[in-house]
Structure 1
Amino acid sequence: MGRSPCCEKAHTNKGAWTKEEDDRLITYIRTHGEGCWRSLPKAAGLLRCGKSCRLRWINYLRPDLKRGNFTHEEDDIIIKLHSLLGNKWSLIAGRLPGRTDNEIKNYWNTHIKRKLLNRGIDPVSHRSMNEASISLAPPPAQSLDEEKKEESEGNPEERCPDLNLELRISLPLQDADLILKHNQQQKQSSISAYDFLGLRSAAVFDCRVLEMK
């Protein structure tokens, strides 16, 4: 269930307030204070909605309201606070005594916003519109010659690969082959030339054990 209406709207006056209604509201609040806005209209003898009475008092009848045009100092404060807070009019009104949030919002939309636009300032970001357009612009396209130049130059790391400076001293390839061949020949000769008995041994054969027949 939604919240019940603050009063019977079918039996309330609408439209502009009369001077008599303003005087009744002022007199009652000065005597009894603001109190509960739901019950205030009936107690003050007003055929108005409680919300209408509250807005009328806060925005028009409060004795501490500041009348007249906004000053240049107030304009600067509103612009500075808006750049920090955005459209939080209640917080901005708290820094401007005597001004209401609704009044400040209307003044912003009708005057200050147009003033900033005439200065070339974006009223949303509070930055220069030229600067904003430059930041949003795409980077300039490169010509075909520039692209080919970049491809030919490549990455500096690719153009200068790491060099293996580990140096080793070794025999030339031909000399190494000769040495390997010589070692193999030595190995074969050391096996033995005495292979006629089918013995392959590197030991010296003793002929004295043979008997002549």
Structure 2
Amino acid sequence: MGTADQVRERTILDATAELLLRIGYDKLTMGDVADAVSLHRGLVYLVFKSKDELVEAVVHDELSRYADAWREHLEADPRAGDVASVYRAMMGALKTLPLAAAIVARAEDVFGKYLRKRGSVFERLPEISRSGDFLRAMREAGAVHRDVDVRAVAYILDALTPAIRRAFQEPANGDVPSSAAVLAVLEKMIECAVPPAEGADLAAGKAILLNLLTGARSAFNEAS
């Protein structure tokens, strides 16, 4: 693909991401995309054969950004390596990437009927929210106390994860807390339920988290 084609594809992906957030999948047309990038609709179809193919490309592109942002937050976190750091990184990344937040929350207002389509990208995406693998790895590395029942903790955290993600999709009001408040409470819960081993090696825990993130990104690429 030449430079001009790459620029055109990038422009189309960025415009589609904005349109999905603004009007949603159900109302989106290829004509809307063409108008947004000032191209003839036929040129858009030369790059992406259908609206669904385009949406799938946007989802994969946004998940790559999400993985990069998640890694950047982990790298910058001085406490990276404890269990709570994976959630701090996740929520920090989602706060800056509204479309990624919509993807992980399976937001109806953004993806509409596409969520229920057979063969959609959402059916093929690997699950990365499961906590058991990284909790067991963290315990083996000494970043989590050996007396912790990681299976039970993982079950609870996985059950809470959808609600945590929704905090980024709904504005804070009388019934919905802010994402910052949710994160603060979650950290306290984790500190109580998953105490680190004495003299825990946070560097080892951080390496585990980064390796798991690399594996998740590879799985995303294979699902493309």
Specify if TM > 0.5.
Answer: no
Give the number of the structure whose alpha-carbon radius of gyration is greater. 1
> Which structure's residues are more often helix, by fraction?
2
TM-score (norm 2): 0.28
Name the TM-score, length of structure 1 as normaliser: 0.29
